[in-house]
Amino acid sequence: MNSVKPNHPIEFMAGGFFLFWAAVGWASYTANSDLRASLWARADPGPALVPIIVLSVLSLGGGFLFIRGIILTLNDRTPCQDQRALPPVSSHILPLGFAASLAVLAVAMQIVGFLPAAIAFCLFWFWGLSSEKSTTRAWLLHLVAAVTIGGGINFLFAGLLSVPLPS
């Protein structure tokens, strides 16, 4: 019987990825004395509680994946005919492009304001992920969706919650 060997190194690498960001978060939390001082300073736990909860879950989950990946890789003695390889680097183009476009969005918001930058960001990704790229109908739907998303976020945060957004 042919079997496919599970890809345990991916779990190991995913755990390392989450542990890396947890370490960045813990270092940031440790360096912020004002935030640390707010924990239980009054009757409520203060704004420091959420980062502690998130970083704890991130650390525990990342540690679990990291250790599980190592243990499964070391203990895996399953004979197999076809061993799955790690995904090709080209499969990471969209996530890397999304991260880069978020960085461009942050800069563009300071230059042109939140609403035009958010609409352009949405239009770019609607166009890039759409199977219908050139029809007028597709462009109109993309534009309506982008304006709805950008305008909705602007209305929610700037209008209802009074969060100052770049204008």
Confidence (pLDDT) at 107:
95
Strand, helix or coil at 4? strand
Residue 38 in this model has a pLDDT that exceeds 50: yes
Supply the pTM of this predicted model. Answer: 0.56
Percent of the chain, pLDDT > 90?
51
- Any idea which residue has 């109109």 for tokens? 140
Mean pLDDT of 15-42: 90
**Span 122-160, pLDDT tens digits:** 999 998 888 877 788 889 999 999 999 999 999 999 999
* pLDDT confidence bin for 4, thresholds 50/70/90: low
Mean pLDDT of the chain: 86
The alpha carbon dihedral of 104, 108, 109, 111 has a sign of positive
